[in-house]
Structure 1
């Protein structure tokens, strides 16, 4: 018993927030299928085997399936070219240079298991359990659809990650990639805050962009932080103005940069027609590409930098200061920068924006 506890120690489940809703719905679908299996007329051996197979399929989708995906392979479930192929003529990309002659045991296990559960559920229609049958049929069909959508989500995530890695691997002295994100509004904080000050806070809008450059000394990251003292709409016009300002400042600091690629999440302010039209009209030939991450899969350098800034602001508040507006945020972040770090901070009067640039 003690040896078992050393190899498999007990763990405590913890609640989690902000999860990928594809993963959440997929996990809930597995739980629904586990309940459906218990309602089927199965012997104990068959029921235990189905429960075990469902658990293995869940672990496979969470961990191994994304690793097995490749651009081109003879396994149909792992071939992204085949999976992302459009049946219509708009995005048609057929696998002409290879054939799908092999199969993945885990993917086949998942497909066969879902078909078997569906077949067993249909056999219940002949029994006199109409109310229970409708519930089982609904949960089964809904769970299977969610699992399929989870699998599609993983394929799209791997494809968009491959596009991002392709842009980063092609960086040289004349190219740069800029990753963008609107951060959740920052709520003012005081060193000593009463209950009356806690309610009715108005958050500060701020936007973060991380520019990655491959220079002579290796990769170099520059972080642009735009702070707004007054509330602004996070719309296409504001976002496009920020993007153009970033590229303009980047061209001044690094005149050798002639090729810029953008990377952002699927927020409407980034992929709106106004945003794309404005950056194309203002940036012109310097704009090389604009890629979007898969929905619910856009965590990256901007989120890491935002967490660093929040930690520095929290440390600044703990030293006895108040951070109530955008200027205080700029002061708190500048206070944390050492002399070894190059920095450029300026206040933009247009739109009352405060811009903080760290090199």
Structure 2
């Protein structure tokens, strides 16, 4: 709170210290002396969230910020103006309307303290109050002790002497005066009784049930006369019909609550259950209308705690309009378009956590103007319901619930944002394949145990349910729970990716800027561990209890133990894979967000070889094909405040091995093309293929910088099946273009034909096509011990520093003198779009 000490306050509140004003409004401590250094020291280091700062201080008077504003406002001449905001329980209650802004005073912090100590109500200092309430508070203050307001001295420690029988900070509660304050309503009622010539209208201090029988009878007669007189005034002389309507209404209300309270409770519980399972607001309103018209809101709220008054009144209105059980016409409900929330959700569903780009196929989408566009194919890893639950969990964990979209909006967006449904997975990484096979293997073993009735069937079914939940958790929410630093050990990437045997490849969580302890546990992670441990424990029991005389049974149980241990090991390898994928994906996002003017991220990938195709292919030509190699380099660059994308596709004219020589020479060509358009610095990223992840490629980074004139900051490697979707999408566009060429009576038998197919007709937007070959001088031998375990390389002035993962540990430095880069040339024929130079921020002329 120290930074709030100098926050400006309204002098009308009588307090110049913003923290004192905030504490009075939030905790009711209105007598703290912030001129005392000890009090300042006590509170300056206390943490407070931004929401409470806004609610109690910076946006306290903003009626649009919070659901329950602190200040009443009245409508006058089309504008909302402040009115007396004193609660009805304090002083005289305003019967008709609260006094407007003409004659208002401000409640000071001293007056708020008086109300708190005398009446036990916390009223925020700063609210506008009328002159009547101002005088009422002044009288309260006079009736208090003549001594001045005492400032509280704070002892050392926020909870100092908390265990003592008395506490110096606790003030005795002063109850209200035993004489009941008369309200304007009581005086108005007495005047109305005099108007009707009704005598003996008094207001006793006892409750009605505590009065004597004679007194009760007199009050009943008096009440009947006044009700008859009131009905006569309201109805314009026809009080009989109005009285009949009122009595009918009272009878209907009473009919729901008479008889067995147990039956009424059962009915209301059933209504509440149907209300909760209704899938939209319209059905909820129909169900609620059954009781809303005859049962008060306070009673219904006991069974449906989340029920709002707005929904209750809408249901009452519905019940009155549709008494014949006829359904109204469907009415479209329009919600305000929240552009930020929609953009955030689209970013989420296009992230590698949800979506993977496919290197084949396209989808057609219809634009608002009726035109159709082809976009690369993608596949979602989860169903729509799973995506909705993941998104809701993500917003809850990151305290961004204001960005939550309704369930129907999420499903509509998923319908519009087309993607291929996952049907079968081919060519997946072995972590995913082995992990999911591990879950399937455990299910098979449990099914065998259920058939043989070896254990309690309910316990085995619970274990199967636990396996399903564990698999779903790892595929969905676990990747969202992973953080760089976390108090949950299972979620802390720094702990998981640090090498305990090598200090240069490890970072400590007990030191540094993000110091933390592992004092929390994730309930769902623990549930996964408990389920797997329970299955292994049951298998061990079976193996130990197997008969030694029955060798077949003993051998079978031992095999089950061995298989279960292997399956569990594969599942934990899958969990590690998801953690690494989440960390490396965040690493890529950090690179993109930190790009400066004229800097770029290059994603490299060898696309699947293109097999020769004929417009009319003979059976003899179908077999024994040799693919055509081509390489995709997708570039995301920042030019000024604009992010641009461009891809470089290289088709090789000869049958070439996809090795480091080909990669380095191709990368040199890409960097030189980027230099022509003003790129001065680049970060490189690729998968773990041997052509990229080798000493010959990494050791040539300094040579590439010297030959191209583009500085290289980092070279990072993504986890399997993560991080190179941009290149895969470009490969999909290339294949689609080639298929269209073949469909129009074209043949692609050689690399020259492939190049021609991509350069004829309408060119691929944002893509440069090259065809040629590379030549490397001599055989270069480069070494870097343990390079296969390093995934993050930083290019420094005196060498290259390798780490297992970015920012974890100091890493290993290979000095520039030890590098043995390759040398060579290339020759490429160019076609297609070329990257154009966009004016950068420093070069823009002033307007």
TM-score with structure 2 setting the length: 0.39
Is it true that 1:98 corresponds to 2:507 in the alignment?
A: no
Superposed displacement of residue 335, structure 1: 2.2
Query: What residue in structure 2 maps to residue 3 of structure 1?
Result: none
Give the secondary structure class of the aligned counterpart of 1:212.
strand
Give the corresponding residue for 2:746: 321
- Report the CA distance between 1:282 and its aligned residue: 2.7
Who is 2:530 aligned against?
112
User: In the TM superposition, what is the alpha-carbon distance from 1:314 to its structure 2 partner?
Assistant: 0.4
Larger CA deviation: 327-336 vs 87-96: 327-336
Contact 2:651 2:770 in 1 (8 A): no
Of structures 1 and 2, the one with the larger relative CO (CA 8 A, separation 6+) is 1
Equivalent in the alignment of 1:247: 671
CA deviation map 1:164-223 (0-9, x unaligned): 111111112221110000111111111111111112222111111011101246221111
Q: Name the stretch that deviates more: 117-126 or 32-41.
A: 32-41
Paired residue for 2:260?
Answer: none
Larger radius of gyration: 2
Give how far 1:311 is off: 0.5
The Cα of 1:91 is off from its aligned counterpart by 1.3
Q: Deviations over 1:212-257 (max 9, x none)?
A: 10124622111111111210111111111111111011101x22x2
What is aligned with 2:481? 68
1:29 aligns to 2:438 (yes or no): yes
Asked if 1:145 corresponds to 2:562, the answer is no
Cα distance in structure 2, aligned partners of 1:247 and 1:278: 13
Contact 1:180 1:302 in 2 (8 A): yes
Report how far residue 162 of structure 1 moved: 1.1
Contact 1:69–1:155, Cα closer than 8 Å, also in 2: yes
SS of the equivalent of 2:617 reads coil
Is residue 422 of structure 2 the alignment partner of residue 18 of structure 1? no
Q: CA deviation at 1:20?
A: 2.7
Contact persistence 1:261–1:290 (CA under 8 A) = yes
Distance 2:773 2:456 in 1: 74
Cα shift readout 1:63-95 (whole Å, capped 9, x = no counterpart): 111011111122111111122122121312111
The answer to whether the Cα contact below 8 Å between 1:174 and 1:259 also exists between their aligned partners in 2 is yes
Q: Secondary structure of 2:638's partner?
A: strand
User: Does the Cα contact within 8 Å between 1:211 and 1:223 map onto a contact in 2?
Assistant: yes
Structure 1 residue runs of 4 or more that deviate by more than 4 Å after TM superposition: 341-357
Mapped contact 1:225–1:357 kept (Cα < 8 A): no
Kindly tell me the number of residue pairs found equivalent between the two proteins: 347
Change beyond 3 A, Cα 1:179–1:344: closer
Change (3 A) 1:217 1:39: same
Q: Secondary structure at the match of 1:210?
A: strand
Aligned to 1:213: 637
- TM-score, length of structure 1 as denominator length: 0.90
Q: Deviations over 1:81-139 (max 9, x none)?
A: 12212212131211121112211111000111111112111111222221211210111
For the aligned residue pairs, the C-alpha RMSD in angstroms reads: 2.3
> Is 1:26–1:150's contact at 8 Å kept on the other side of the alignment?
yes
Contact (CA 8 Å) 1:228, 1:354: kept in 2 or not? no
Q: Which residue of 1 aligns with 2:580?
A: 156
SS at match of 1:270: coil
Q: Relative to structure 1, is the Cα distance of residues 201 and 241 closer, same or farther in structure 2, using a 3 angstrom cutoff?
A: same
Of 127, 136, 143 in structure 1, the residue corresponding to residue 546 of structure 2 is 127
Question: What is the aligned partner in structure 1 of residue 457 from structure 2?
Answer: 44
From 681, 686, 704, the counterpart of 1:282: 704
Shift of 1:327: 2.0
C-alpha separation between the residues in 1 aligned to 2:509 and 2:468? 33
Structure 1, 161-170 or 324-333: larger mean CA deviation: 324-333
1:300 and 2:725 aligned: yes
Q: 1:232/1:245 Cα in 2 relative to 1: closer, same or farther (>3 Å)? A: same
Please tell me whether the aligned partners of residues 226 and 356 of structure 1 are also in contact (alpha carbons under 8 angstroms).
Answer: no
Q: Distance in 1 between matches of 2:641 and 2:705?
A: 27
- The answer to which structure has the higher helix fraction is 1
Contact kept? 1:312, 1:336, Cα under 8 Å: no
Q: Give the 3 Å change call, closer, same or farther, for CA 327–260 of structure 1 in structure 2.
A: same
| CA 143–355 in structure 1, closer or farther in 2 if over 3 Å, else same | farther
Q: 3-state SS of the aligned residue for 2:629?
A: strand
Task: Give distance in 1, aligned partners of 2:705 and 2:474.
Answer: 41
- Whole-Å Cα distance in 1 between the matches of residues 720 and 768 of structure 2? 34
**SS of alignment partner, residue 528 of structure 2:** helix
Aligned partners of 1:344 and 1:357 also within 8 Å: yes
Partners of 1:229 and 1:338 in 2: CA distance: 21
- Structure 2 distance, partners of 1:350, 1:75, is 51
Query: CA shift at 1:338, angstroms?
Result: 4.8
Give yes or no for contact 2:649–2:768 (8 Å, CA) kept in 1.
Answer: no
SS in 2 for 1:106: helix
Query: Over residues 241-289 of structure 1, what are the superposed CA-to-partner deviations in whole Å (9 max), with x where a residue is unaligned?
Result: 111111011101x22x221110000011112111112232231471110
Find the aligned partners of 1:331 and 1:342 in 2 and give their Cα distance: 18
How far does residue 299 in structure 1 lie from its aligned partner after superposition? 3.8
Q: What is the aligned partner in structure 1 of residue 692 from structure 2?
A: 270
What secondary structure, in the 3-state scheme, does the structure 1 residue paired with 2:643 have? strand
Q: How many angstroms apart in 1 are the aligned matches of 2:770 and 2:506?
A: 48
Asked whether the 8 Å contact 1:168–1:177 carries over to 2, the reply is yes
DSSP 3-state at the match of 1:48? helix
Structure 1 regions of 5+ residues with no counterpart? 1-5
Structure 1 residues 346, 165: closer, same or farther in 2, change over 3 A? Answer: closer
Separation (CA, whole Å) in 2 of partners of 1:108 and 1:291: 33
1:194 corresponds to which residue? 618
Partner deviation per Cα, 1:285-340 (whole Å, 9 max, x = no partner):
7111000011343441111000011011101111111122222222222224359x
Q: Against the structure 1 CA distance between its residues 153 and 24, is the aligned structure 2 distance closer, same or farther, given a 3 Å change threshold?
A: same
Return the match for 2:682 from 256, 260, 263.
260
